[in-house]
Structure 1
């Protein structure tokens, strides 16, 4: 339900109750009903902002002056660390397009960090207009905090998923430890670098990729727990987020790094020689986008925020994601030769839905006392 519909519903109920008390047996009663209708009409007009639908205040009658009346509009984008390069390529294209079509100058404040940390920052008061996070669970937490209206997944294609990737294993030059599969990470002589699932979205995906590799090949949960425990026993340090994990590995720690495929591709584009493997059994890493309703209504910039989100789904923006290593959510682009040549095929791809959805995953694996904490306790971390 839109925010303006709530007070309108109350007014309609009052009007309905009023009509039940009147009988058309006097002039006074008739005049009273006319007055009720007039008041209701004025209220409706105030709530909807007219019938043309062009006024951004239709979303919230208490919002500050709408962006349509401003020559300059500012948006605050809060995202997880590894999207920075993609957004820096896409934002200028959107700014130019919006200026041409609306004669407005849009500027962006941008914040990047671990998805879990970014989520907490928004809940604690960072006034994001748009959040692009590593996993839907983090967006759901902002929703539960009352900042995003329920149903945000249906506002955009693919249940709000705007970028995708898979997990990659990065090795030292020449792959001296001969690492080819997830199972190799459990060997006693292999040290693995990954981020902390308590603070990093990519780390949760890494954990699920390891777990999924056992379940998808016929193992049960006992086998999965045993395997993942051994891998984390080989982790000398848990980084704060994906970028920090990459830095730690780059400074010489570890034999293998688990990270997003797009991070590997970006590093190669920057001139780094990177040896890596995309395991044939993998997890679909799905990253959602959402408008933060409470903040855009406060800032009066909903129209522009929604315009930017929609732009991220256009071929123009999706091609930028592809250039920087993200797998496209647009199926037509996914079938192009450029994409099929760029990304190795994954034959067995698990999903969050296969594991029961994020609510179940969070409670089972990452909540206090969950599987991850139990594994860390076994490894005496």
Structure 2
């Protein structure tokens, strides 16, 4: 009896020890599983054209000490659509858009801090210029803004009420023909003539390029980097940088409701390093950081900026107000919607919904 009692006691002790050890083992496994205990995931919401660049930039960041335990989700689409989606609740830790007003919308919604553009780069991450893209060899010799308004020429550019790129495209031609906004009637008359030659208005710059490379149109207006992207991917396109064109400035910001603001800021800081700016340059964007390396870009003789046209508040009111503006009047005559999310009707064509992807 004493022996049996002693054996039961030993068994009970071993059982308790086993439970304790098992609990410790379980805790250890859960904390070290894949080394992911302190990993974070950042949501990047961006406009459509820099997707390839950001995929490379994320991979490069994840090789640094600051980024080795940071994962990303990525969403790409028309800049205005993306901005409105974030304002309506789409999760974002960083927002990278085509133009400043799409960030300003989020400042108004208190989703981006008002000081977002107080750094030495004024909140910008890349530059570009508006160019005229054509078929390989430029068979119709389309080199100037006037060429695009000639009868019988088909020109592709996105819908300015969804696409930030479309606004830049319009401002390039408008600024050139209005002498930087000093002759508004001439600028408006030019846009009226130009848009009579636009058979399709996609929702984004990337969708517009895809429509062109699929065989539609004689020319397209776009970012310089989009034309370079097409060439890099084997598309038979050429492009011309007009003497008079606009400097395109692309903003980026960390959101105020980011769950991981330190990691988001670390990624933003990385994007301003020479190594990251060279990746942008290799993807056709003009770096905002001097001496970043990569290809060189010519400076057009008549290059102007949004500031030369009076700034975004003035330009948006005069040219892009959906109710009453130069472009609203032109679109209404063409039977094209000026709402934020136009449906495919008439000569307008809606692009696919914003794409989303995940990246480690």
* TM-score, normalised by the number of residues in structure 1: 0.75
The 5 A counterparts of 1:53-202 are 71-97=38-64, 100-101=65-66, 105-154=69-118, 156-202=119-165
The reply to whether residue 312 of structure 1 matches residue 271 of structure 2 is yes
Structure 2 partner of 1:293: 256
Do the aligned residues in 1 keep the contact of 2:281 with 2:295 (CA within 8 Å)?
A: yes
In the TM superposition, residue 77 of structure 1 has moved relative to its aligned partner by: 0.3
Aligned partner of 2:295 in structure 1 is 339
Higher relative contact order (CA 8 A, sep 6+): 2
Secondary structure in structure 2 of the residue aligned to 1:159: coil
> Is 1:366 matched with 2:320?
yes
Describe the shift of the 1:96–1:221 C-alpha distance in structure 2 as closer, same or farther (beyond 3 A): same
* Runs of 5+ consecutive residues of structure 2 not aligned to the other structure: 1-35, 337-360
Does the CA-based 8 Å contact 1:164-1:327 persist in structure 2? yes
How far apart are residue 358 of structure 1 and its match?
A: 1.2
Equivalence for 1:55:
none
Does the Cα contact within 8 Å between 1:229 and 1:379 map onto a contact in 2? no
The answer as to whether partners of 2:66 and 2:263 remain within 8 angstroms in 1 is no
Shift of 1:349: 1.0
Deviation at 1:216, TM superposition (A): 3.2
- How far did residue 251 of structure 1 move? 1.9
Structure 1: gaps spanning 5 or more residues: 1-68
Q: Displacement of 1:219 after TM fit?
A: 6.5
The 3 A distance-change label for structure 1 pair 218 and 283 is closer
Q: How many positions carry a matched residue from both structures?
A: 300
Alpha-carbon distance in 2 for matches of 1:218, 1:147:
33
The answer to whether the 8 Å contact 1:134/1:288 transfers is yes
CA shift, 1:168, in A, is: 1.4
**TM-fit CA distance, 1:208:** 0.5
Q: CA RMSD in A?
A: 1.8
1:377 Cα offset (Å) = 3.2
TM-score (structure 2 length as normaliser): 0.80
- Matched with 2:345 is none
More helix as a share of residues: 1
Distance 1:240 1:314 in 2: 32
TM-aligned CA deviation for residue 146 of structure 1: 1.6
Native 8 Å contact 2:66 2:266 kept in 1? no
- Kept after mapping to 2: 8 A contact 1:191/1:234: yes
